[in-house]
Amino acid sequence: MVTTSELRVRTVIELVANGAYYTRMYSQFIGPIDIAIKAICKNYTYSELYEIAALCNVLRCNIRSIYPKIDFREDMEILNNIFKPISTIIASCSITIFWSHVLNETDVRAQNNMTWSPNHFVPLMSPPAFDDSDNISDQSVSKVVTPEKRTFKNNAPM
């Protein structure tokens, strides 16, 4: 089993080894890679865009990132993306993550200048797959969409 520390070290090595690629692809969204690498080296720090992009190469898998449309700005669109390994690596699996926060939205806003921002991500699991032998022919499959924050007042949409 791979530990979080090992994933962190492998991610740092990937970012250092292919720094020019990551700088070219992502620095305009999140800033200098050297600052990000220093932050990654500290235990218990939150992951950001560089880590997700590098981690798909470390794990050799596609990573679909879903960022909720809460306080969403156009520059955040990069976070709603499928990150793929560099062209020389063939992806062997796919992972979907959803950006979230441990506190409810009201508490996050109170602590963060009335702005919501995530502090971690969670894996999203696919619904169970059924085959013909399960005799579930009338089960509908829903389309996966990016979650969107809706405001309600007295249980009615605003």
The DSSP-derived string for 27-38 is HHHH--HHHHHH
CA distance 62 to 84: 5
**Radius of gyration, alpha carbons of the chain:** 18
- CATH class, 4-125 region: alpha beta
Going by pLDDT thresholds of 50, 70 and 90, the confidence category of residue 144 is low
* Per-residue model confidence as pLDDT tens digits over 24-83: 999 998 889 999 999 999 887 878 889 999 999 999 999 999 988 888 888 788 889 999
Residue 122: in which H helix or E strand, if any? Answer: strand 120-123
Rounded to whole angstroms, what are the CA distances from 121 to 30, 68, 86? 17, 11, 23
% helix, strand, coil for the chain, step of 5? 40, 15, 45
Model pTM score = 0.73
CA distance 4 to 68: 25
* Per-residue model confidence as pLDDT tens digits over 3-14: 989 999 999 999
**If DSSP states are collapsed to H, E and C, what string results for 67-98?**
CCECCCCHHHHHHCEEECCCCCCCCCCEEEEE
Q: 152-153 and 156-157: which strand pairing?
A: antiparallel
From the number of C-beta atoms within 10 Å of its C-beta (0-12, 13-18, 19+), residue 7 rates as middle
